[in-house]
Amino acid sequence: MDKLKMEEMVPGFVITEPGSTVRVKTADWRTFKPVIHYEKCTDCAICWVFCPEPAIEVRTDVEKGKYVINYDYCKGCGVCAHECPTKAIEMVRER
C-alpha cells in the first residue's frame, strides 16, 4: 500500500473503514517473532483467539498444525507464546 501524504490523512487519524489494517503490513519493527513447534501444538486455537492482530491464520487443509503465523502482520508482542497452554510457541530474535 502506498504511504499517505499528510494532507490525505483523516484528522485525528481516525480509522474510517473496518478491516483496513489488513492492507497495511505492520510487522516492520518486530524484534522477536513467534515460532510454533508443531510437535507440542494441540490445535487448541488459544493463540488465534488472543492474538491482537490478524497474524494467526487457520489452515483448513490439514489435520494437525492448523495455526500458522503470518509474519506480514505479526508485531512480535508475544501474547500468543504467553497464552499457549503447551508452550508450543517460542519467541526468537529477528535477524
Contacts to ligand SF4 by CB under 6 A = 34, 36, 41-47, 51, 53, 55-56, 67, 69, 74-80, 84, 86, 88-89
All three cell numbers of 15, joined, read: 480509522
Task: Match 480509522 to its residue by C-alpha cell.
Answer: 15
Least distance in angstroms from the C-beta of 18 to ligand SF4 = 19
Number of residues assigned to the chain? 95
Amino acid occupying residue 1: M
Which three cell numbers, joined as nine digits, stand for 60? Answer: 483448513
Helix (H) or strand (E) holding 50: helix 46-50
Nearer to ligand SF4, 20 or 42 (CB): 42
| Closest separation in Å from C-beta 45 to ligand SF4 | 5
Least distance CB 11 / ligand SF4 (angstroms): 28
